[in-house]
Amino acid sequence: MILSASRRTDIPAYYSEWFLNRVREGYVCVRNPMNIHQVSRIDIRPEYVDCIVFWTKNAAPMLQRLEELSAYRYYFQYTVTGYGKDVEPNVPDKKAVILPAFQRLSEKIGPRRVIWRYDPILFSSRYTPEYHLRAFRQIAETLRGYTEKCVISFVDIYAKNQKNMAALDRYDMSAEALGEFAGELASIARENGMVTASCAEKIDLQKYGIEHNCCIDKKLIEEIIGMPLNVKKDKVQREECGCVESMEVGSYNTCLHGCVYCYANYSGGSVKNNCRKYDPHSPLLCDSILEGDTVTERKVRSLADGQIALFFPEENGDKKTYG
């Protein structure tokens, strides 16, 4: 089983204590957003969890507690953009907090396991292509040696973020212009020792040196755990998404970053109400088991083929086998 922690909220930034309590107790509960009285109880003991994928804009609150994850394999999708408070109102200062935390995380777990996300990219009278290129270069130079990959995507408009996006004076670019712009990003990334990949983009950017990316990445997870995985493409995600199946443990409308482009946290009122319910000892994030809930034990298993060990080069050039 692969855990996604989380596409719906920033667990490392706001809820690491809750998550580590879940790790300690060996299970987590997740409410079905489509059927609010249906709750899944998921066994997350190390023998069932092949890898954890963390998604964050700020790993600083979790850095001193990574040793509590020593029984697990994991990596981070770490978003660092050039946006100001008009787009990412509650994200801490990039130079003072976010980038140093990225660097310290990389020093602890290695650059392969910290993936820089510069996404989603939107264009406006303030955030022009030229602005993004300057911001991207500054961040790439700061993260040189601390990551091996940068993931980009262009903003998508959903019913749930349309209202927030309307105030940004946003505009679209042609596919050709987007491709050329993306190619410039890829060139800057290469100068700083990084490959560039796209996330769930319909536009084909391969001729600009940008590969299709999988955020829940079978190949990377196999490298991290040293074994092949028996896992399928995630049918729940968009057709363009290359992610494999994972178990999502987050909750919608619980992230306090307040990013205007976010589709998972689209109601400020709901976020405030949900966050008032936060109990780091509850099995549910910003929630509790209620009267009328049906709690079902999810069947879980390891996806790794433990009979075959794979060898992969480590950072120092040596070889190591896991399993």
Tokens of 179: 């491709």
pLDDT digits (tens, 9 = 90+) for 33-55: 999 999 999 999 999 999 999 99
Tokens of 168: 């940004």
The answer on pLDDT for 133 being more than 90 is yes
pLDDT digits (tens, 9 = 90+) for 67-78: 999 999 999 999
Q: How many helices (H) and strands (E) does the chain have?
A: 8, 15
Predicted confidence at residue 53, as pLDDT, reads 98
| Confidence (pTM) | 0.90
Highest mean pLDDT among 259-263, 265-269, 297-301, 306-310: 297-301
pLDDT digits (tens, 9 = 90+) for 240-291: 677 899 999 999 999 999 999 998 887 889 999 999 999 999 999 999 999 9
pLDDT digits (tens, 9 = 90+) for 90-114: 999 999 999 999 999 999 999 999 9
The answer on pLDDT for 310 being more than 90 is no
Other beta carbons within 10 angstroms of residue 78's beta carbon come to 25
**Which among 157, 201, 152, 202 has a CA at the least distance from the CA of 181?**
152
